[in-house]
Amino acid sequence: MDVFAVSANFEISILVHLKLNLLELQKHFFCLFISLSLFCRAQDTIKVSAPLSPDELAEKEFNAGLDAFSKNDLNNAEEHFSASLAAKPGFDKPLSNRAVVYARQKKFDQALADVNRALAINNENADFHFNKSLIFFYLNKSDSQSTSLLKCLKINKQHVEGLYYSGILHYEKNEFDSAITFFNQSIAVDPKHLNSWNDRGSAKRAKADYLGAIADYKQATMIDSSKSFIHNNLGSAFRSINKLNEAISCYNRALIIDSRYTPALLNRGVAHLDNDNAKAAEADFNAVLKLEPKNSFALNNLASLAIKSHNYEKAESLSNQAISADQKNGFAYYNRGIARQMLRNEQGSCADWKKALELGVTNARAIINTSCID
C-alpha cells in the first residue's frame, strides 16, 4: 500500500483573497486631497494660513485617516475619519471608509451602521456597495455579499474589485468556470491585477488545467515577484504535472522571500516525498512544527514517514497528535488506521478508515472493503 499517495493531498494552495489588503482593494476610489499650510517668512514677519473651514477640516481629517489606514494604523484611522465626520456630518466618504476600519476591527454592527448611512446619502456609489460587500465577506455571509456586489456592478460594470470578488464567491462554491469568467473581466479592466491572475490560476488548477494555471501564476510573478504565496502556488501547479524539480525550485523561492512561510515548507516536504527524498521531507515537516507545533498536516506527514520505516507505534502517536490538532483531518485517521492494523488493532483500524471515508478520503473505501468485515 502506497501511504504516500495520502500525504500528497496535504499540499496547501493559498488563496490570496482570504488575506485581504484592504488598502489595495480601495485604492481605486480613495480621493486624495492635500491641504498645505504655507508659511512664508519675510525678515521677522511670518504669514500663517487662515483657519480651515469646516469643509477643509473635514477633507484634511479624511486624508489623515487614509494615511493612517495605509500604515495599518486602524485606531488613528478611526479617529481621523470620526473627526472628519464631526466637522462635516454629511460627508459620505469617511463614513464608508470608517465602516471598513470597523470591519477590520471586528466591530461589525458599527461597520454596517456606517456603510448604511453612507448609502442613505448616496445609494448610487459603487464603492460604497463594494465596501458593504467586504463587511459581509468578513461575516462569511455569502448571499448578502453577493447582493451588494450585484448592486456595485450594476452601477459600475468595470468595478475591478467587484468583478474580482464575484469571481471569489464562485470559486468558493466550486463554480470554477464562472469564477474564471469574472477573473477574465477583472483582468480586462486591470491587466496588472495581481490577485485576479493568481486566483484564475487556482481556478484553472482546480479544473486540472495545469498548464493554464502555470501560465497565470507566472504572469502574476511578473507583476510582483515578491509574493511567497504566488511562488508556492506555481510550485504546486508544477507538482501536479510531476515536474518535481521545478516545483521544489518554486518552493525554495517562496522560502527565500519568507523563511517562515509554512505552506511552502509543507508543500516542499511533500514534493521531496514524491521525489523519494524522505530525509529532506522529514526536515521540512519538522521545520513546520518548530513554527507551528500543532500543525496537523506536518504531524500526519511525519506519521506517513514512520509507517514507511515500519515504526508503527510512532506513526500511531503522530496520528493521534494530528487528530487532536484537527479532528477533520481525514488523512490522519487513514494513517492511524494503517498503524493500528499493523499493531493488530483491527477494530480500531476499521473505525479509523470509516471515519476517514466519512471525511472524504476516498482511498479508504478499498481498504475497508478488503480488510473490514461488519
Q: Is domain 225-290 given the CATH code 1.25.40.10 in the classification?
A: yes
The yes-or-no answer to whether 225-290 and 293-374 have a common fold is yes
- With a cut of 90, say whether residue 9 has pLDDT above it: no
Give the predicted TM-score (pTM) of the model.
Answer: 0.81
Residues of the chain with pLDDT > 90: what percent?
83
How sure is the predictor about 50, in pLDDT bands with cuts at 50, 70 and 90?
confident
Domain segments of the chain as ranges: 225-290, 293-374
Contact 248, 280 (CB under 8 A): no
- With a cut of 70, say whether residue 75 has pLDDT above it: yes
Mean pLDDT of 305-324: 96
In 3D space, the residue among 349, 357, 262, 265 whose CA is nearest the CA of residue 307 turns out to be 349
CA distances from 347 to 253, 318, 361 (A): 45, 19, 19
CA 302 remoteness from chain centre: 26
pLDDT tens digits along 150-195? 999 999 999 999 999 999 999 999 999 999 999 999 999 999 999 9
Mean pLDDT of 113-130: 96
- With a cut of 60, say whether residue 36 has pLDDT above it: no
Instruction: Return d(Cα 218, Cα 201) in angstroms, integer.
Output: 9
The confidence score (pLDDT) of residue 49 equals 60
The confidence score (pLDDT) of residue 347 equals 86
Mean pLDDT of 197-222: 98
Mean pLDDT of 326-338: 96
293-374: CATH number: 1.25.40.10
